[in-house]
Amino acid sequence: MDSQRIEAAGSGRRRFLWFTGLGALGTAGAGGAAVMLDFVHPKVLFEPPSSFRVGRPESFPVNSVTADYARKVYLVRTEVGFFALSAVCTHLGCITRHVEEEGAIFCPCHGSKFAVDGSLLMGPATRGLRRIAIRLEDGELVVDSELEVEKDAVLRV
pLDDT at 111: 83
Residues 6+ apart with CB under 8 A from 102: none
What Cα–Cα distance (Å) separates residue 94 from each residue in 91, 107, 110, 136, 156? 8, 7, 9, 29, 30
pLDDT at 8: 56
pLDDT < 50: residue spans in the chain: none
Check the CA dihedral 91-96-98-102 and report its sign.
negative
In one-letter notation, the amino acid at residue 49 is P
pLDDT at 25: 93
Give phi and psi for 148, each to the nearest 5: -90, 140
pTM of the model: 0.65
